[in-house]
């Protein structure tokens, strides 16, 4: 009996010790930051803690700011710099408050850009998802004169700014840019092209829909994706006829005929059905620009990853190899056209909102996944400026709480049925889009452009 009791006690202690150790050892907090932070002089540049910390644990792990940077405020969740000094240092210390031990320290150099200066034209293009389609950059690049002479390159016109364009496609992943667009309500993707002499112009059903929306651009008339995927392409719909076929086609122009469910190729006289297996496809930035007679951008920024990974599974199981390989192909394709051009990877949001949100999103898990992508981007693509590859950290400008919108709908905000008090729950909407933060998210990109702007050589 005593022997059994002894075995029981040993087992009990071992199990409890294992539980404690697995809790302590199984998770170790972390922070990550690129080696360079681009800041605009005379503008408030915010550094939020949540985007750069592996988990948000203000009771156990805190981030303290130090270094030679001239901070205008250093708070628990954010630090700000209004008068950044070039080559000053932002230092972060991750501290566990059980023993006040420093878990990790890292530093980034501040590189500044002067707003409102620069002669001539600077050509910039942004490829992205709904953040780009929603023009997160509009305030910083187009409305505050931070970047004078900017000419934004693309097919999708920025609302309210005629002559300025972007390449944003809401809901898209990086992989979508490496696929054929042929569905009626799928944004046109001209970057994925058949090899050799052929030029792909998209599907007939899509361009027919764009023409129809251009005649009656009232969102109430259309289903969401019919309007959302076409409205920004109205400006180039004149390239196609009412049936969606390319006007004035050239030999070897290629389209997808939705009615025939087949690719068609123009042989110089007429369109002929062809087999998809006859073509090899690749990301071809050069062909895309030349087809649409677009100027070559001196700076190409991509802002992707949120749709790729925020709901991709558990953070410890994410595999970034395919994403990294495709990003390398995009970079190489751009540099084949503009060898001295600057390719910018913008670190996407790792602040997807709070748990009280209309969508019911498990935002804590989304934040964790996006932090893992953040770390991957820094580990894989940082310190490659000699290859004209740069990282701009837009993600650290996002406030996870106030950066998104809050509902007024009592269906969500009333604490409980029959509650008679004035208090209401704070419930977010529009996740993961930090619409209130859009004006500040583009500041780091504006700072980068102003620092590295150059005369056009193309």
**Per-residue pLDDT tens over the stretch 366-379:** 999 999 999 999 99
Helix (H) or strand (E) holding 40: strand 36-40
Domain ranges of the chain: 28-165+289-458
The whole-angstrom separation of Cα 138 and Cα 136 is: 6
H-type alpha helices, 82-144: 130-133
Q: What is the percent of the chain with per-residue pLDDT over 90, rounded to a whole number? A: 90
Pair type for strands 89-96 and 61-66: antiparallel
What's residue 187's pLDDT? Answer: 97
- At residue 380, the pLDDT reads 98
**Strand pairing partners for 64?**
93
Q: pTM of the entire structure?
A: 0.92
User: What DSSP line would sit under 212-229, residue for residue?
Assistant: HHHHS--GGGS-HHHHHT
Q: Determine the pLDDT at residue 353.
A: 94
pLDDT value for 98: 87
User: Check: CATH 3.10.110 for 28-165+289-458?
Assistant: no
Task: Say which range, 14-23, 95-104, 324-333, 423-432, has the weakest mean pLDDT.
Answer: 14-23
Total Cβ atoms within 10 A of residue 26: 7
pLDDT tens for each residue of 205-225: 999 999 999 999 999 999 999
Q: What's the number of CA atoms in the CB half-sphere (13 Å) around residue 439?
A: 7
Q: Is the pLDDT of residue 2 over 60?
A: no
pLDDT at 25: 58
Tell me the backbone φ, ψ of residue 233, rounded to 5 degrees.
Answer: -100, 5
Mean pLDDT of the residues in the chain? 92
What sign has the CA pseudo-torsion 287, 289, 295, 297?
negative
Average pLDDT over residues 156-178: 97
Asked if the model's pLDDT at residue 19 lies above 50, the reply is no
Q: Give the whole-angstrom CA distance, residue 138 versus residue 336.
A: 28
Block residue for tokens 């025939």: 260
* Dihedral sign, Cα of residue 354, residue 356, residue 359, residue 361: positive
Q: Read off the pLDDT of each residue in 56-70 and give the average, rounded to a whole number.
A: 91
> Over 60: is that where the pLDDT of 15 sits?
no
Q: Above 80 in pLDDT, residue 397?
A: yes
For tokens 């780091």, the residue is 444
Query: What confidence tens digit (pLDDT) does each residue in 87-113 have?
Result: 999 999 999 988 899 999 999 999 999
Q: Where are the alpha helices (DSSP H) in 406-457?
A: 410-413, 438-441, 443-452
Minimal CA–CA distance to 430: which of 338, 368, 359, 336? 359
Residue 7's pLDDT is: 42
Tokens standing for 76? 């628990």
If you average pLDDT over residues 158-176, what whole number do you get? 97
- Residue 458's pLDDT band (boundaries 50, 70, 90)? very low
């Amino acid at each position: 009996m005593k022997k059994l009791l002894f075995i029981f006690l040993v087992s009990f202690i071992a199990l409890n010790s294992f539980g404690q150790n697995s809790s302590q050892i199984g998770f170790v907090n972390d922070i990550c930051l690129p080696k360079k932070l681009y800041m605009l002089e005379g503008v408030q540049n915010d550094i939020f803690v949540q985007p750069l910390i592996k988990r948000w644990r203000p009771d156990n792990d805190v981030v303290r700011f130090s270094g030679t940077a001239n901070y205008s405020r250093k708070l628990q969740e954010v630090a700000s710099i209004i008068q950044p000094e070039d080559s000053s240092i932002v230092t972060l210390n991750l501290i566990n408050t059980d023993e006040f031990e420093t878990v990790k320290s890292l530093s980034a150099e501040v590189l500044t850009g002067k707003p409102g200066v620069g002669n001539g034209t600077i050509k910039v293009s942004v490829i992205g998802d709904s953040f780009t389609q929603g023009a997160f950059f509009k305030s910083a690049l187009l409305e505050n004169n931070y970047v004078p002479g900017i000419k934004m390159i693309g097919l999708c016109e920025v609302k309210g700014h005629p002559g300025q364009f972007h390449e944003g496609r809401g809901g898209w992943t990086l992989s979508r840019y490496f696929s054929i667009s042929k569905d009626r309500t799928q944004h046109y993707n001209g970057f994925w092209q058949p090899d050799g002499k052929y030029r792909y112009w998209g599907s007939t059903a899509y361009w027919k829909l764009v023409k129809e929306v251009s005649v009656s651009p009232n969102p109430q008339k259309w289903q969401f994706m019919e309007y959302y995927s076409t409205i920004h392409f109205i400006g180039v719909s004149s390239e196609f006829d009412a049936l969606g076929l390319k006007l004035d086609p050239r030999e070897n122009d290629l389209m997808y005929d939705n009615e025939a469910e087949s690719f068609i190729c123009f042989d110089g006289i007429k369109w002929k059905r062809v087999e998809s297996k006859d073509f090899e496809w690749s990301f071809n930035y050069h062909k895309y620009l030349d087809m649409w007679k677009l100027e070559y951008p001196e700076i190409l920024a991509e802002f992707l990853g949120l749709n790729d990974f925020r709901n991709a599974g558990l953070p410890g199981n994410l595999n970034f190899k395919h994403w990294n390989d495709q990003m390398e192909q995009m970079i190489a394709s751009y540099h084949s056209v503009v060898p001295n051009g600057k390719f910018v990877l913008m670190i996407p949001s790792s602040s997807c909102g709070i748990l009280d949100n209309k969508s019911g999103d498990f935002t804590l898990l989304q934040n964790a996944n996006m932090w893992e992508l953040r770390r991957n981007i820094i580990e894989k693509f940082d310190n490659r400026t000699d290859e004209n590859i740069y990282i701009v950290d837009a993600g650290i400008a996002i406030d996870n709480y106030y950066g998104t919108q809050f509902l007024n709908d009592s269906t969500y905000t009333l604490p409980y049925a029959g509650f008679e008090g004035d208090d209401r729950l704070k419930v977010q909407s529009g996740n993961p889009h930090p619409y209130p933060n859009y004006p500040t998210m583009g500041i780091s990109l504006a700072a980068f452009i102003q620092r590295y702007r150059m005369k056009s050589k193309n």
